[in-house]
Chain A
Amino acid sequence: MVEMNLNRRQFLKLSGAAAATLAVVELGFNEKKAYAASKELKIAKATVTPTICCFCGVGCGILVHTKNNTVVYTEGDPDNPINEGKLCSKGTTIRQLYTSEKRVLKPRYRAPGSDKWVEKDWDWMLDTIAKRAKETRDKSFVEKENGMIVNKTEAIASLGGAALDNEECYLLAKMMRGLGVTYLEHQARI
């Protein structure tokens, strides 16, 4: 569960606390009526979840507003001391990471020599990948070299990970070294 300090405007809004407090934070007024009365504020009644920007290494806090199974708005997290609610253009738009029509929604497979993708289910994909990894590994595995135990395969490479979570990086390193992979690299090198 998210443990947050509900001390800023967004959270007050969510919890239904007085809008007067919002006013103190941002503008110093709260006169409801007229212009927006006809339509509800887009982030009203949305669920707010704090996250950290997925782009550069500054680590800005972002609030993700979700409603009706989609992301309706993303903005800076005013509680995060690094950015205090501010963001650059990339951080501001992470909403479109979810809404982009370019997202891959199903696993895709390309057979040798083929000129197209075929959609497959997850189990088939992972079973097949596991089989390929095993075949290659078994074929290339070196147990000993010059009398020394080396337990490695130099036929499989793993690349990438600078945008993975720490927990994922940890498991990736553990998995790859557990398979005897020596070609373990990622973006920090390039």
Chain B
Amino acid sequence: MATEYVKLVDVTKCDGCRACMVACKNWNDLPAEPEEFSGTVQSHKKTTADTWNVLQYIEHENGKGDLEYLFRHSSCFHCTDAACEKVCPENAISYSKFGTVVIDHDKCVGCGYCVQNCPFEVISLKEYKDKNGKEYKLSQKCTMCTDRLEEGLQPACVTTCHTNALEFGNKDEMLAKAEKRLSEIKGKFPNANIYNPKGVGGTHTIYVLTEKPSVYGLPENPKVPTSAVVWKDYAQPIGKMMIGATTMAVVGAFITNNIISKRIKGKEDGGEGHE
């Protein structure tokens, strides 16, 4: 792999303008999809197949009883150990030389395992129709504008960000920057942390957060689901030898669905829905 690159999201600098959301749609020609009124300023509950990044707005009362209005640019984490990549039966998901995780739509069959296994819920399926009216599905997510990276341009969201809350660059440099920023804000935000979870081998979207990850709705310790590991590292190589890829999808479905159903259950207990 060539040099790894990282998008650093410093939430303390974000003023919630949402240029990142529109720049993404503008660059990637994604359609609008207004959702129901959410009761907050937030436009979308989470990322979708046509909305690859969402600005989260959180009203949080901190330990001192002061109101904090928190903003987080949320999109694909581009994990180093990406569950989506592991579970894809068609090898449609791969790592680019920049460290970004990309979906090859020529290979994607729309099975949805990547969607089900993403620990951050940032991949989505969408149904399309071809010119003959035949329906097909593709999974979609933030590409980190890998097409732009190829040309030496930064991701569209980063290019437009006016407070430099989003920065993009060499991984080591971004990590050093994150550490420095953390030390600057610790006084004001004692719970501040760098979110670069080890359970997925670290990520290529790294955050400087002012509060615990859970305040932002992020898993504290996200992991690559065991099923994904089983799939990629054991079942798939064997399966590929024995049977065709389509059949493999069935095997894959069996393994992942078991795990997913557990996850859904956990969520329901927590009082949250799951799509």
Contacts and interface: CB of A to CB of B under 8 A. Distances in A.
A93 B19 CA distance: 9
A93 B160 contact: no
A180 interface: no
A101 interface: no
Interface residues of A, number: 35
A31 B168 contact: no
Nearest to A76: B160
Contact of B159 (A19, A36, A37, A76): A76
B254 interface: no
Interface string B147-185: 111111110100111100000111000000000000000
Contact of B147 (A35, A73, A85, A92): A35
Interface string A3-26: 000000100010000010011011
B26 A92 contact: yes
A86 B154 contact: no
B22 interface: yes
A93 B170 CA distance: 29
B23, B153, B156 pick with most chain A CB within 10 angstroms: B153
Main secondary structure of the interface of A (DSSP, over half): mixed
Contact of A75 (B21, B152, B159): B159
A23 B147 contact: no
A34 interface: yes
A187 interface: no
A5 B3 CA distance: 32
B169 A75 contact: no
Interface in B105-149: 146-149
Nearest to A38: B106
Nearest to B168: A27
A55 B40 CA distance: 24
Interface residues of B, number: 32
A27 B169 contact: yes
Contacts of A86: 19, 159-162
A27 B152 contact: yes
Given A29-B152, A73-B26, A87-B19, A35 B96 contact: yes
A52 to B, nearest CB: 16
A27 B161 contact: no
Contacts of A32: 150-151
B243 interface: no
A17 B51 CA distance: 34
A35 B162 contact: no
B151 A22 contact: yes
Contact of A19 (B146, B151, B156, B162): B151
Given A89-B17, A89-B22, A27 B154 contact: yes
B154 A26 contact: yes
A124 B162 CA distance: 47
Contacts of A26: 152-154, 159
Contacts of A34: 96-97, 150
A9 B159 CA distance: 12
A75 B97 contact: no
B29, B150, B168 pick with most chain A CB within 10 angstroms: B150
A92 B97 contact: no
A33 interface: yes
Contact of A95 (B5, B26, B160, B170): B26
Given A9-B153, A27-B149, A41-B148, A91 B168 contact: no
Interface of A: 9, 13, 19, 22-23, 25-37, 39, 41-42, 73-76, 83, 85-89, 91-93, 95
20 contacts: A9-B153, A22-B152, A22-B153, A25-B152, A27-B152, A28-B170, A30-B151, A31-B97, A34-B96, A35-B147, A35-B149, A36-B146, A36-B147, A41-B150, A74-B26, A75-B23, A75-B160, A87-B19, A92-B23, A93-B26
